[in-house]
Amino acid sequence: MPLSSTTDTTPTDPQSQRGRTLIRIQNFNAWYGDFQALQDLTLDIPRHQVTAFIGPSGCGKSTLLKWINRMNDLTPGARAKGGISLLSDRPDEQTVDVDILDPNVDVVKLRRKIGIVFQKPNPFPKSIFDNVAFGPRLHLKTTKSELDELVEWALQKAAVWDEVKDRLQGPALGLSGGQQQRLCIARAIAMGPEVLLMDEPCSALDPASTLAIEDLMFELRSQYTIVVVTHNMQQASRCSDRTAFFFEGRLIESGETRKMFTNPDKNQTDDYVRGKFG
Amino acid sequence: MALPKALQEQDFKSTTTGMLSERLIVSCLALCALTTVLITVGIIYMLISQSVGFFSSDQITLREFVTGTEWTALQSKQLQQSKFGILPLLSGTLRVTTVAMLIALPLGLITAIYLSEFASPWIRSWLKPTLEIIAGVPTVVFGYFAILVISPSLQWFSGGGFATFNATSAGIAVGILCLPMVCSLSEDAMRAVPNSLREGAYGLGCTPYETAVKVVVPAAFSGIVSAFLLAFSRAIGETMIVALAAGTLPTFSADPTRQAQTMTGFIVEMIKSENEYGTVQHFSLYAVAVTLFAITFLMTLLGQMIRRRFQESYE
C-alpha cells in the first residue's frame, strides 16, 4: 500500500511544521517522447510556504508541476525517472509517506492530497454549488448539511463566498474570469488537500483579479503548501517565500525569494530576474 | 535601396469592378441559401393543399380523424364504410419508434462514450468505419434483415410469441439503422468538450470512467439530446423497413409482438393501391403526411429549445 495515512491521523500544528520539507524531488528526469524536458533535478519544497517556479517558456517548470500530482499520466509519451516523494510530518524529514512516481501509487488518493489549479479557469458547466461539491460528493460520505457547510467553508477560504453566496445554484460559467479561478481554488480546497499546485493561475486574468488570487495564495499557505508556476516575475517576488529558477530543463538555482531577486548566486538567475532575457 | 518597380508605378487594379463582382457573388450565395427555404415552403404547401381534399369531404371530421381508433382507408372499398381515425397508425409508429429508441439510444450513447473517452486510436480507426458501413446499408436490406433474421430469432427466443410481421422486429432494425447517427453525433458533442474540463476532473481525483460520466456527458448534454431527437425524427419517418417488416394491419394497440402499420407504412400502401387520385381515400395519405410532418417539426423545435437551454459557452 503506497499511501499510508499518518498525516491524516496525527493532528499537527501547521506553524511548527512550517519550513520543513514536504515534497522531496531527487535526481528527477522527465521526457516527452525523445525530448528530455527536465534533467537531473533535485529540490525540496517546504511545508506551508509558497514556492514559485520561474523561467522562460519551455524550461520545464510546468512539466515538473504536473509530475507532482501525476497529471502527466494523461500526456501520451510522458516518462520520468528519479524520485518525487511526499514526506510524512515526522521531524526527521526522511520518512516517505507517498512515493509519487511509484507506478502502483493510487493516483486518485494522491490527487486528493495534491490539488491542482490550472492556467485557464475550468469550472464544470454546472452550478457554483455543484462545482465545489464535486470532489466531496465523489470521495466523501456526507449528509446534506455537512456538504452545505463544507461548500461554504471552501468558498470562504477561496475569498469568493461573498460574491456568490446569493447565487449558489446559478451557473459557474456566468462568473467573471477571476471569480471562476477562485471557484476552481475552492473546488480544489474542498477536497481537503495538503498541497495546492497552481499552473500560471493568473495568466488569463486581469490585474485586479490577479491581485486577489495572489493575496489568496498568501493567506492559504498557513494551511496548505503551495507550488505556483508563473511567468510573471513580479508575481513571484510579491507572493512567494521561495523561488526556483529553471532554464532549458535544468534547475539553475533555488532559494529564498528575497535573495533570489536581490542577490542570487548565479549570473544567469540575476539576468533573468532583471529581465535581461526570457 | 530603391523601391521595387511594382511599388513605384502605383498602378492599382480598379476597385469598382472588384466591388461589383463581390456583390454578385454574395447575391449568388444568398440565392443558394434561399433554395432550401423555398423547398421547405413548397413541401408544406403541397402537403396542406392536398390534404384539403381529405378534410373538406363531408364524410370526415377533424375530431374523428384525431380521436378515431379505426383506420380502414385501404380495407373498405366504399367511402361510407371507411373509418379515418389516425390513432391506429400513430400507435403503430410509436410502437416501432419506441423499440428503435430503446435499441439506438443506450447502445449509441455507450458506444459514443467508449469511442470518445476510452478507445485507443487504433480501435477507433476500425470501429468508426464499421459504424459508417451500417449507416450506408440500404434500408431495404434492413427490412429483409428484420424479416429473415430478427423476426425468426424473436420467435425462437419467445417460443412463437411473435407474429411474422411485428413491430418489434421492424423497431430493432430501425434502431440499428439509427445507431450510427446517435453514436457519431453524440461522439462529436463529447469530443467538443474542452480538455481543460477533463483535466479538472482528473485533478479532483476522478477515474477515467467518472470523468466521462460525471463531467464529459453532462457537458455535452445539449449535443447528445439533439442527437437523440434527430434519431427519433429519423425513426418516425423511416419507411422501407416498416413497410416490409412491420405488417399492413392498422391496429390501435400497444402490443409490440403483433402487426403494426405505421404512418409511413400506410402512405406506401396507399400509393401502391388501386385508389385513384382524387378519391378521399387517396387524399387521406396527405392528411397522414401532414401529421407526420407536424410531429417531426415539433421534435425539431423541442431540440432547438433544449439546445438553447443547456448550451454552455466555452471561450
State the 10-residue block means of pLDDT for chain A, 278 residues long.
44 66 92 92 92 90 92 88 87 82 89 92 93 92 92 91 93 91 93 92 86 88 92 88 92 92 89 80
- Alpha-helical regions (H) of A69-143: 107-113, 128-139
- Each residue of B201-238: pLDDT tens digit? 999 989 999 999 999 999 999 899 999 999 999 999 99
Strands A242-247 and A35-46, by their bridges, are unpaired
How many A×B Cβ pairs under 8 Å?
64
- The Cα–Cα gap between B148 and A258 comes to 82
- Each residue of B55-71: pLDDT tens digit? 888 888 888 888 888 88
- Cell numbers describing residue B103: 435499441
- Each residue of B121-177: pLDDT tens digit? 999 999 999 998 998 999 999 999 999 999 999 999 988 888 889 999 999 999 999
Q: What DSSP designation does B117 have?
A: I
| Chain A residues within 8 A of B206 when measuring between CB atoms | 108, 138
Picking from A116, A25, A17, A124, the residue whose alpha carbon sits closest to that of residue A66 is A116
- The Cα–Cα gap between A187 and B253 comes to 52
Residue with cell 477562485: A182
Q: What is the pLDDT of residue A233?
A: 87
SS3 A245: strand
Q: What is the pLDDT of residue B263?
A: 93
- Alpha-helical regions (H) of chain B: 5-9, 15-55, 62-67, 87-113, 121-136, 139-145, 151-158, 167-191, 195-203, 208-210, 217-219, 221-237, 240-245, 263-272, 280-310
| Chain B residues within 8 A of A107 when measuring between CB atoms | 205
From the list B218, B313, B315, the residue facing A126 with the nearest CB is B218
Contact state of B205 with A125 under an 8 Å Cβ cutoff: no
The residues, ordered by sequence, that sit 6+ positions from A170 with a Cβ below 8 Å of its Cβ are: A127, A128, A164
Contact state of B201 with A184 under an 8 Å Cβ cutoff: no
* For range B16-44, the mean pLDDT: 90
From the list B200, B206, B207, the residue facing A122 with the nearest CB is B200
- The Cα–Cα gap between A66 and B102 comes to 43
Q: Would you kindly state where each structural domain of chain B is located, as residue ranges? A: 80-310
Smallest Cα distance from B234 to chain A, Å = 30
Integer angstrom CA distances of residue B178 from A113, B96, B227, B230, B291: 45, 13, 10, 9, 22
- The Cα–Cα gap between B95 and B81 comes to 27
The sign of the dihedral angle between the CA atoms of A65, A67, A68, A74 is: positive
Go through the domains of chain A in sequence order and give each one's CATH number.
22-273 (3.40.50.300)
- The Cα–Cα gap between B246 and A178 comes to 59
Contact state of B205 with A124 under an 8 Å Cβ cutoff: no
Q: What is the pLDDT of residue B46?
A: 93
| Chain B residues within 8 A of A118 when measuring between CB atoms | 196, 199-200, 203
**Residue B312: CA atoms inside 13 Å, Cβ hemisphere, count?**
28
SS3 B181: helix
From the list B197, B202, B210, the residue facing A124 with the nearest CB is B197
The sign of the dihedral angle between the CA atoms of A75, A76, A82, A85 is: positive
Q: What is the pLDDT of residue B76?
A: 73
Integer angstrom CA distances of residue B24 from A90, B17, B37: 80, 11, 20
Contact state of A116 with B203 under an 8 Å Cβ cutoff: yes
From the list B204, B206, B313, the residue facing A173 with the nearest CB is B313
Which residues in A have their CB inside 8 Å of a CB on B? Answer: 69, 71, 74, 107-109, 111-112, 115-116, 118, 120, 122-126, 134-135, 138-139, 171, 173, 184, 187-188, 191
Q: What is the pLDDT of residue A10?
A: 44
The residues, ordered by sequence, that sit 6+ positions from B70 with a Cβ below 8 Å of its Cβ are: B83, B85, B88, B250, B252
Q: What is the pLDDT of residue B309?
A: 79
Q: Say if pTM beats, i.e. exceeds, 0.95.
A: no
* For range B242-256, the mean pLDDT: 89
Checking if the pLDDT of B312 tops 80, the result is no
Picking from B179, B16, B61, the residue whose alpha carbon sits closest to that of residue B109 is B179
The ipTM estimated for the assembled molecules is 0.85
Select B80-310's CATH number: 1.10.540.10, 1.25.60.10, 3.40.50.720, 1.10.3720.10.
Answer: 1.10.3720.10
- The Cα–Cα gap between A18 and A12 comes to 11
Contact state of A187 with B313 under an 8 Å Cβ cutoff: no
* For range B185-213, the mean pLDDT: 93
Are B269 and B73 spatial neighbours (Cβ–Cβ below 8 Å)? no
Interface test with A, best of B120, B204, B209 (most A CBs within 10 A): B204
| Chain A residues within 8 A of B314 when measuring between CB atoms | 173
- Each residue of B96-113: pLDDT tens digit? 999 999 999 999 999 999
The residues, ordered by sequence, that sit 6+ positions from B277 with a Cβ below 8 Å of its Cβ are: none
Q: How confident is the model at residue B4 (pLDDT cuts 50, 70, 90)?
A: confident
From the list A111, A126, A173, the residue facing B203 with the nearest CB is A111
Per-residue DSSP letters for A156-190? HHTT-HHHHGGGTTSBGGGS-HHHHHHHHHHHHHT
The residues, ordered by sequence, that sit 6+ positions from B165 with a Cβ below 8 Å of its Cβ are: B147, B151, B245, B246, B247, B248, B259
Picking from A14, B43, B157, the residue whose alpha carbon sits closest to that of residue B51 is B43
